[in-house]
Amino acid sequence: MAGNLTARKVETAKPGKYSDGGNLYLIVAPTGTRKWVLRFTWRGKAKEMGLGSAALVSLAEARERAISACRKVANGINPIEDRKRAAGIPTFGAMVDIVHEALSAGFRNEKHKTQWKSTDVAPRFYPFLSSFPAVVLPCWAGEAAGACAEPLA
């Protein structure tokens, strides 16, 4: 992916969006901050993946990261989701297990532990969200079981 940009152009570019080819872009904000972005299509939708600040990531390294991400797309792997998994962000299913374990000390008996997972979480969310990354701690952490759960219509 030999591109149109040079190291000098990266340093001196005015605010705007500059293509290096291969869907790699240098975006310069009005404040002068510079970042690398890769554009790609995933399941028919346009996506943008940040590759880092131009102050920390060189042009050559940005090209390498873009090539690596493009290979993942070609192999049917979403590079954004892959990066989240590599960063150790748990899935919703794993987060349910973590929260259940944290709350289980407050339950009166084993039956309540089983009921929380089977009545509050599994039927509503598990089938749909178990493989999605969980990026926020559920509101029930640290509260009584089902304290913030609202019935779904």
Domain residue extents for the chain: 7-86, 89-153
How many C-alpha atoms does 19 have within 13 Å on its Cβ side? 4
**Strand duo 24-28 + 45-53: pairing:** unpaired
Mean pLDDT, 10 residues at a time, over the chain (153 residues)?
81 93 93 95 91 93 93 91 77 73 79 72 60 54 46 42
Residue 105 DSSP code: G
Distances (CA, A) of 87 to 21, 47, 80, 83, 135: 28, 20, 11, 6, 11
**Residues 10-42: pLDDT tens digits?**
999 999 999 998 899 999 999 999 999 999 998
Looking at domain 7-86, does it have CATH number 3.40.50.720?
no
Direct distance between the N- and C-terminal alpha carbons of the chain, in angstroms, rounded to an integer: 51
Give the bridge partners for 26, in sequence order.
18, 36
pTM here is: 0.58
